[in-house]
Amino acid sequence: MQNPFQNAMAQLDKITKIKDFGEDFILKLRQPDRDIRISIPVKMDDGSIKIFDGYRVEYNNALGPYKGGIRYHKDTEVNEVKALAFWMTLKCAVAGIPMGGGKGGITVDPKELSKAELERLSRGWVRKLSDILGPRKDVPAPDVNTTPEIMAWMSDEYAKITKDETRATFTGKPLDKGGSAGREKATGLGGFYVFDSLREELGLPDKCKIAVQGFGNVGLNAAKIFIENGHSVVAISDSKGGIYNEQGLDIEKLSEHKKKTGSLSDFEGGKNITNEELLETKCDLLVPAAFENVINDKNAHKIASSAILELANGPITPEADEILFEKSIPVIPDILANSGGVTVSYFEWDQNLKGEQWSEKEVYGKLLPMMNDAAKKTYKKAKEYSTDLRRGAFILALERIQEKM
Ligand code: NAD
């Protein structure tokens, strides 16, 4: 399988076949502005020292400060971070926010560290990178396995080193540490708003049966929001496997079950399924909300949903994209579908700089029209170029970045 950055560049290549953006511009977009690799020494609880690999990729800042989350994962490596930083660049442009694209990470399985070790590691990442970070330079946020608490440690470390008290360098902070109301649900909710504004155009029923891969921040919140809005979630999974119920799952009870047993398996209100089965569920909407490359040339022909909403970053490989296109399964692409998260991150940054605190209602009131606008403009671009929504979103983003550059 190709690495995620090769996938991202393959997506870019496809666009150049539809619209000529000029060689110089595309050449510039094939590399990040900066790709920084660090080693972070951490004193472990037993007194020993362990060295961790960390990353920050600053991809493009034509539209504003670099913006993008920090991922903690045992498989995190530079190509993944570069791909995610590239997608962030396009995502901010699609969402219409004045931010550029970046991403960070540490190769670590956070479950293997104590809380104190995790805090020392997180503060260590900031110490190595504080020179390049800042409200007007580079603004990180959470991603897979990084939490508001970790953002609070990082924000605190940054303030200690630089004396910057705006708290606008990190977003996704807890509410009492300068966070924004509504950030936790923002990605799932934004995804729902995008889906809702395209639902009729995509020929989907007003009550959809949905399968969600991922039971974390994005997957779980999205599942709850879809249910609140009259749809049903017939399947959902985490890394160990999933649960299926044709009549719809009770997500609150399933969450309780997971809290008690540590897994989704053997939930009374459904039957156990594997992650492969989840992706092949017959339904109206499939929502990959876990990891990249989960829909690829091996399983794309088995997808049995009427449409896909990509809440994870890069869940569909370029080969699978072609197969789905031939099968006429529309894909609402990640850079549009999950842009609610970065949009509310931008709101948090804006509030920090202005010394304001908006209510959840105000935040969602600002999010809704921005997501609707991004969805409608993407749809229009796809129609204009007789192409799919991913290419429509890429063209919209690239036009905005090119104009600024
Ligand atoms: P998270 O760590 O909260 O949750 C990830 C979920 O995926 C967990 O339930 C985990 O069990 C599951 N998972 C891990 N590996 C899996 C596998 N191989 N198969 C099935 N499930 C697996 O992470 P998150 O914040 O919910 O992010 C999920 C995805 O959404 C990522 O691709 C992330 O980049 C993307 N995303 C997140 C945000 C955000 O605001 N958190 C914003 C935009 C995009």
Helix (H) or strand (E) holding 104: strand 100-107
Containing structural domain, residue 104: 31-166
pLDDT at 339 over 60: yes
Quote the percentage of the chain above a pLDDT of 90.
96
pLDDT given at position 243: 98
Domain assignment present for residue 290? The answer is: yes
d(CA 375, CA 352): 28
**With contact defined as beta carbons under 8 Å apart, do 72 and 144 qualify?**
yes
Q: What is the mean pLDDT of residues 136-159?
A: 96
Q: What is the mean pLDDT of residues 154-168?
A: 96
Of 255, 262, 325, the residue nearest 295 (C-alpha): 325
> In CATH, what number is assigned to the domain containing residue 38?
3.40.50.10860
d(CA 355, CA 322): 47
Q: Same domain, yes or no, for 199 and 141?
A: no
Q: Taking the mean position of all CA atoms in its chain, how far away is CA 135?
A: 21
Name the DSSP class of 206. Answer: S
Residue of the CA atom closest to atom 3 of ligand 1 = 216
Question: Which phi and psi angles does 89 have, rounded to 5°?
Answer: -60, -45
**With contact defined as beta carbons under 8 Å apart, do 389 and 332 qualify?**
yes
Rounded to the nearest whole angstrom, what is the distance from the C-alpha of residue 379 to the centroid of ligand 1? 26
Rounded to the nearest whole angstrom, what is the distance from the C-alpha of residue 319 to the centroid of ligand 1? 22
Per-residue pLDDT reduced to its tens digit, 195-234: 999 999 999 999 999 999 999 989 999 999 999 999 999 9
Of 183, 210, 201, 207, the residue nearest 378 (C-alpha): 201
- 324-360: b (≥16 Cβ within 10 Å) or e: bbeeebbbbbbbbbbbbbbbbbbbbbbbbeeeeebee
Residue of the CA atom closest to atom 17 of ligand 1 = 239
Q: What is the mean pLDDT of residues 233-253?
A: 97
Per-residue pLDDT reduced to its tens digit, 30-83: 999 999 999 999 999 999 999 999 999 999 999 999 999 999 999 999 999 999
Q: Known catalytic residues? A: 103
**With contact defined as beta carbons under 8 Å apart, do 353 and 327 qualify?**
no
* Coil/strand/helix, residue 375: helix
Quote the percentage of the chain above a pLDDT of 70.
100
| Residue 216 Cβ contacting ligand 1 at under 6 Å | yes
Of 345, 296, 290, 341, the residue nearest 313 (C-alpha): 290
Name the DSSP class of 288. Answer: E
Q: Same domain, yes or no, for 114 and 242?
A: no
Q: What is the mean pLDDT of residues 132-154?
A: 96
Domain assignment present for residue 114? The answer is: yes
| Residue 289 Cβ contacting ligand 1 at under 6 Å | yes
**Ligand 1 atom having least distance to the Cα of 311:** 30
The answer for residues whose C-beta is within 8 angstroms of residue 291's C-beta and 6 or more apart is: 144, 214, 312, 315
Q: Taking the mean position of all CA atoms in its chain, how far away is CA 280?
A: 22
pLDDT at 2 over 90: no
pLDDT given at position 4: 87
Query: For the chain, how many structural domains are there in total?
Result: 2
Q: Same domain, yes or no, for 196 and 330?
A: yes
- 38-62: b (≥16 Cβ within 10 Å) or e: bebebeeeeeeeeebebbbbbbbbb
* Coil/strand/helix, residue 59: strand
Mean pLDDT of the chain: 96
Q: Same domain, yes or no, for 135 and 199?
A: no
Q: Same domain, yes or no, for 141 and 192?
A: no
pLDDT given at position 286: 98
pLDDT at 268 over 60: yes
Domain assignment present for residue 119? The answer is: yes
d(CA 312, CA 307): 15
Q: Same domain, yes or no, for 108 and 37?
A: yes
d(CA 247, CA 138): 46
d(CA 249, CA 270): 7
**Ligand 1 atom having least distance to the Cα of 71:** 34
Domain assignment present for residue 72? The answer is: yes
Domain assignment present for residue 77? The answer is: yes
Task: Report the amino acid identity of residue 53.
Answer: D
| Residue 217 Cβ contacting ligand 1 at under 6 Å | yes
pLDDT at 1 over 80: no
Query: Which single residue is written with the structure tokens 């449409």?
Result: 307
Q: What is the mean pLDDT of residues 73-98?
A: 96
Identify the domain boundary among 319, 337, 355: 337
| Residue 235 Cβ contacting ligand 1 at under 6 Å | no
d(CA 5, CA 310): 18
**With contact defined as beta carbons under 8 Å apart, do 8 and 314 qualify?**
yes
Identify the domain boundary among 112, 132, 166: 166
Q: Same domain, yes or no, for 327 and 192?
A: yes
d(CA 13, CA 359): 42
> In CATH, what number is assigned to the domain containing residue 253?
3.40.50.720
Task: Report the amino acid identity of residue 378.
Answer: T
Rounded to the nearest whole angstrom, what is the distance from the C-alpha of residue 381 to the centroid of ligand 1? 29
Rounded to the nearest whole angstrom, what is the distance from the C-alpha of residue 10 to the centroid of ligand 1? 23
| Residue 215 Cβ contacting ligand 1 at under 6 Å | yes
Identify the domain boundary among 108, 136, 166: 166
Residue of the CA atom closest to atom 13 of ligand 1 = 239
pLDDT given at position 291: 87
Q: Same domain, yes or no, for 156 and 263?
A: no
| Residue 238 Cβ contacting ligand 1 at under 6 Å | yes
